[in-house]
Structure 1
Amino acid sequence: MLPRRLSREIFKELVYVFSLCLGSFLALLLVGRLLKLRELFLSQDVALLDLGQLFLYLSPFFLLLLLPIASMLSVFLTFLRMSTDRELVALRAAGLSLWQLLPVTLLFLLLCTAANIGIGIYGVSWGMDNFRATILDMAKTRTQLVLQPGVFNQDFPGLTIFARQVDRETGDLSTVFVEDTSRGQGAIGIVAPQGSLTTDTRKGQVVFSLRNGRLYRHDRDSASVLGFGEYRIALDLDKIISGVELEEKRPKEMSWTRLMDYRHQADLAQTRDATFDRKVDVETHKRLALPLACLALGIFAMPLAALFEGLKRHFGFLVSLGLFLVYYALFSAGLSLGETGTLAPAIGLWAPNILFMGLGGILFHMAARERGGKLLERFGYILRSLLPQRKRKAA
Structure 2
Amino acid sequence: MKLLHRNIFKELISIFTLSISGFMGLILIGRLLQFRDLFMGQSLGALEMAKLFMYLCPFFLLMLTPIATMLSIFLTFLRMNADNEITALKSGGLSLYRLLPAPIIFCLLCTGADFYFSLYGLSWGTENFRNALMEFARTQSQLAIQPGVFNKNFPGLVFYADGVDEKSGIMRSVFVRDNTRKGMTATIVAPLGEIRTDPKMGRLLIHLENGKIYQQEKDQLSVLKFKNYDVRIPLANILKGYDVDELRPKEMSWKKLVRISRAGDRAGDIDPGFFKKVQVEVQKRLALPVACLVLGMFAVPIACIFRGLKQQYGLIISMGLFLVYYTMLSLGVTFGESGVLTPVIGLWLPNITFAIISVVLLKMAVMEHSFSIRIPFLKKFRRKEA
| TM-score bracket, shorter-length normalisation | over 0.9
Contact kept, 8 Å, 1:262 with 1:268, in 2: the verdict is: no
Q: CA deviation at 1:136?
A: 1.0
Say if 2:304 is the partner of 1:322.
no
Mapped to 2, the partners of 1:283 and 1:365 lie a distance apart of 34
**Any unmatched runs of 5+ in structure 1?**
385-395
What SS is found at the alignment partner of 1:338? helix
Letter of the structure 1 residue corresponding to residue 278 of structure 2 = V
Q: CA deviation at 1:310?
A: 2.2
Mapped to 2, the partners of 1:185 and 1:100 lie a distance apart of 78
The C-alpha deviation readout for 1:170-192, integer Å capped at 9, x for no partner, is 33212211111111232211111
Aligned length: 378
Larger CA deviation: 201-210 vs 112-121: 201-210
Contact kept, 8 Å, 2:174 with 2:190, in 1: the verdict is: yes
Mapped to 1, the partners of 2:99 and 2:167 lie a distance apart of 60
Q: CA deviation at 1:266?
A: 5.1
Check 1:144–1:358 CA distance in 2 against 1; reply closer, same or farther (3 A cut): same
Q: Give the structure 1 partner of residue 310 of structure 2.
A: 312
Letter of the structure 1 residue corresponding to residue 209 of structure 2 = R
Q: Give the structure 1 partner of residue 217 of structure 2.
A: 219
Check 1:270–1:380 CA distance in 2 against 1; reply closer, same or farther (3 A cut): closer
Q: Give the structure 2 partner of residue 162 of structure 1.
A: 160
Contact kept, 8 Å, 2:150 with 2:159, in 1: the verdict is: yes
What SS is found at the alignment partner of 2:128? helix
Mapped to 2, the partners of 1:169 and 1:258 lie a distance apart of 36
What SS is found at the alignment partner of 2:273? helix
Match runs of 1:330-345 below 5 Å: 330-345=328-343
Mapped to 2, the partners of 1:268 and 1:160 lie a distance apart of 42
Check 1:178–1:53 CA distance in 2 against 1; reply closer, same or farther (3 A cut): same
What SS is found at the alignment partner of 2:100? helix
Mapped to 1, the partners of 2:271 and 2:220 lie a distance apart of 41
Q: Give the structure 2 partner of residue 116 of structure 1.
A: 114
Contact kept, 8 Å, 1:195 with 1:210, in 2: the verdict is: yes
Check 1:297–1:149 CA distance in 2 against 1; reply closer, same or farther (3 A cut): same
Partner residue of 2:189 out of 183, 191, 194: 191
Check 1:313–1:220 CA distance in 2 against 1; reply closer, same or farther (3 A cut): closer
Letter of the structure 2 residue corresponding to residue 249 of structure 1 = L
Mapped to 1, the partners of 2:216 and 2:53 lie a distance apart of 48
TM-score (normalised: structure 2): 0.94
Q: Give the structure 2 partner of residue 203 of structure 1.
A: 201
Check 1:269–1:149 CA distance in 2 against 1; reply closer, same or farther (3 A cut): farther
Q: Give the structure 1 partner of residue 381 of structure 2.
A: none
Partner residue of 1:348 out of 346, 349, 352: 346
Mapped to 1, the partners of 2:268 and 2:196 lie a distance apart of 28
What SS is found at the alignment partner of 1:247? coil
Match runs of 1:203-352 below 5 Å: 203-265=201-263, 269=267, 272-352=270-350
Mapped to 1, the partners of 2:155 and 2:241 lie a distance apart of 17
What SS is found at the alignment partner of 2:116? helix
Mapped to 2, the partners of 1:300 and 1:289 lie a distance apart of 16
Check 1:318–1:220 CA distance in 2 against 1; reply closer, same or farther (3 A cut): closer
Q: CA deviation at 1:271?
A: 5.5
Contact kept, 8 Å, 2:82 with 2:307, in 1: the verdict is: yes
Partner residue of 1:24 out of 22, 25, 38: 22
Mapped to 2, the partners of 1:147 and 1:271 lie a distance apart of 41
Partner residue of 1:38 out of 36, 39, 47: 36
**Any unmatched runs of 5+ in structure 2?**
378-386
Larger CA deviation: 47-56 vs 169-178: 169-178
What SS is found at the alignment partner of 1:350? helix
Larger CA deviation: 221-230 vs 339-348: 221-230
Check 1:369–1:270 CA distance in 2 against 1; reply closer, same or farther (3 A cut): closer
Using the aligned pairs only, state the percent identity.
47
Q: CA deviation at 1:243?
A: 3.7
Q: CA deviation at 1:380?
A: 4.0
Letter of the structure 2 residue corresponding to residue 361 of structure 1 = V
Contact kept, 8 Å, 1:171 with 1:198, in 2: the verdict is: no
Check 1:221–1:335 CA distance in 2 against 1; reply closer, same or farther (3 A cut): closer
Q: CA deviation at 1:211?
A: 1.2
Q: Give the structure 1 partner of residue 63 of structure 2.
A: 65
Contact kept, 8 Å, 1:186 with 1:218, in 2: the verdict is: yes
Contact kept, 8 Å, 2:58 with 2:121, in 1: the verdict is: yes
Q: Give the structure 2 partner of residue 391 of structure 1.
A: none
Contact kept, 8 Å, 1:251 with 1:280, in 2: the verdict is: yes
Mapped to 1, the partners of 2:229 and 2:173 lie a distance apart of 14
Letter of the structure 2 residue corresponding to residue 40 of structure 1 = L
Q: CA deviation at 1:264?
A: 1.6
Letter of the structure 2 residue corresponding to residue 256 of structure 1 = W
Partner residue of 1:13 out of 8, 11, 14: 11
Q: CA deviation at 1:161?
A: 1.1
Match runs of 1:70-109 below 5 Å: 70-109=68-107
Q: Give the structure 1 partner of residue 180 of structure 2.
A: 182
What SS is found at the alignment partner of 1:156? coil
Mapped to 1, the partners of 2:282 and 2:211 lie a distance apart of 45
Letter of the structure 2 residue corresponding to residue 214 of structure 1 = K
Mapped to 1, the partners of 2:157 and 2:19 lie a distance apart of 50
